Structure 1
Amino acid sequence: MHEDFDGPELDPAVWTPHYLPMWSSRAATAAAYRLADSQLVLSVPVDHPVWLPEDHDPPLRVSGIQSGNRSGPVGSTSGQQEVFPGQRVREEQPRSVGHLVSAGHVEITCAMHLSPRSMAALWLCGFEEVPAESGEICVVEVFGDAVDPGVSAEVGIGLKPIRDPHLAADFAAPRLPVDVAEPHTYAVDWDASEAVFRVDGEVVRRCAAPPTYPLQLMVAVFDFPARSDGTDGHLVPELVVDAIVSRPA
């Protein structure tokens, strides 16, 4: 896959422009986004709804797209990236295999416009047709309160087991000399033995034994209202994506 966002719309055969809709609904989880100048711009407008207001604490608002989507029937516990054990499906999702990858190369070229109450990320998570296959490979995760504008940022990278009993947690956020408001390329190459993470072609982390079951791409920007200082309600975080590339091993 080489997604350069040149078309007038997201490719519905690849992308679901919602964030984990099985736990809520497509209507309540729709991403705020636009395509312009060969870029995808994900944003969280000031009137964007809170995601799962009755289930998720602290509150968050999110605009995200994902390259896979599935669930069991309403009332079942068969979904993706559950918020709490035993969470029930509220809206059954059609099985969508837009793009899954088990090993290989994934990269994103993007810029992030964040405030101290927001975050942006690209991660790979298990498709979860087998419930334990839920681990994550985090390619990039940046919180706005860890950004020194124009100078550096703590860039989250690594592995998160979620509910995979066989995957070891190996996640860190080294401070790197990157201005995240400018375009940079964040990438991972992985197989069963190792995941190698790069920023602009330079190796920044290595993690042993990453997951090699089917993983979908998750791209999102988040806002955390509880982190407000009382003067920032007008701010709109954005994740501006130039390209996403994925190659199987």
Structure 2
Amino acid sequence: MTQPVFADDFDASALDLSVWSPYYLPQWSSRSASAATYGLADSCLTLSIPVEQGIWCAGSHKPDLRVSGIQSGNYSGPVGSTVGQQPYRDGLLVQEEQEPFWGWTADGGYVELRARADIAPGSMVSLWMVGLEDQPDRCGEICVMEVFGDAVVPGESAAVGMGLKTIRDPVVPQDFEAVRLPIDVREFHTYAVEWSGGTATFSVDGTAIRSCQGAPTYPMQLMLAVFDFPEQSGRDHVPTFTVDHVRHRVR
């Protein structure tokens, strides 16, 4: 039987800042330029990208990207260094130093998200876990779910990405697949991974979909975000990602 070791049901009137940082990789821009747009109501967290939200890392990240995300850990080296989590290209320099923050990390167990999404072509949502990068090679990824708006047939099906991503960890295999499932992502669904001993088994609504070998065995933080690519979306649609809960259990 599993026992909860972490759960956020988003029942409070404010985001728990002891667990979550509401900035997306702020070391590559700044906290002010990477702040998420979000709200809490009806026991849910809703991340959104309104029309007026600016480009993330404008002029540096290609393609243009807008994002509202929260993450359960973060740190960087000093300004001008290359030390920081998830650099999107070689030689990227820290623009704003981030103090170490570890709100919630895990090195195995069962991680579950219950959420729904309103996305269109040019936007996407994802829940993924990444190594803390306290050592450079500890950067592999376990992607619990990833859905692009152009892979959704409204009311019928969606291609749900899940699996492992090497990133820059030579030990973690690239084993990622978008599996088409008969679900409507506008409705709540439960996306989860059971992760132990280098094996990661992914499920949707309690049904196992695929299993991967070679998952990271080091501590990982959680990343949760909605993205918009304005060159594709034209900013006519406001994508949202509404999260009912995030939970973690160990055997």
Same fold (TM over 0.5): yes
Q: Which residue of 2 aligns with 1:97?
A: 102
| Partners of 1:243 and 1:214 in 2: CA distance | 21
Q: Which amino acid aligns with 1:36?
A: A
| Partners of 1:79 and 1:140 in 2: CA distance | 24
State the Cα distance separating 1:97 from its structure 2 match: 0.6
Contact 2:198 2:216 in 1 (8 A): no
State the Cα distance separating 1:196 from its structure 2 match: 0.5
Per-residue Cα deviation, 1:43-85 (whole angstroms, up to 9, x for no partner): 0000111011121111110000000011111111110000111
State the Cα distance separating 1:38 from its structure 2 match: 0.4
Q: Which residue of 2 aligns with 1:199?
A: 204
Q: Which residue of 1 aligns with 2:40?
A: 35
Q: Which residue of 2 aligns with 1:121?
A: 126
Structure 2 SS opposite 1:175: strand
Per-residue Cα deviation, 1:186-218 (whole angstroms, up to 9, x for no partner): 000111231000000000010001001111000
Q: Which residue of 1 aligns with 2:143?
A: 138
| Partners of 1:55 and 1:161 in 2: CA distance | 23
Q: Which amino acid aligns with 2:239?
A: P
Q: Which amino acid aligns with 1:38?
A: S
State the Cα distance separating 1:112 from its structure 2 match: 0.5
Matches within 5 A, 1:1-249: 1-228=6-233, 232-249=234-251
Contact 2:141 2:164 in 1 (8 A): yes
State the Cα distance separating 1:247 from its structure 2 match: 2.1
State the Cα distance separating 1:248 from its structure 2 match: 3.7
Q: Which amino acid aligns with 2:194?
A: D
Contact 1:101 1:248 in 2 (8 A): no
Unaligned runs of 5+ in 2: 1-5
Aligned length: 246
Structure 1 SS opposite 2:51: coil
TM-score w.r.t. the length of structure 2 is: 0.96
| Partners of 1:193 and 1:160 in 2: CA distance | 13
Contact 2:161 2:177 in 1 (8 A): yes
After superposition, the CA RMSD in angstroms is 0.9
| Partners of 1:55 and 1:106 in 2: CA distance | 33
Q: Which amino acid aligns with 1:234?
A: D
Structure 1 SS opposite 2:11: coil
Q: Which residue of 1 aligns with 2:3?
A: none
| Partners of 1:117 and 1:53 in 2: CA distance | 17
TM-score w.r.t. the length of structure 1 is: 0.97
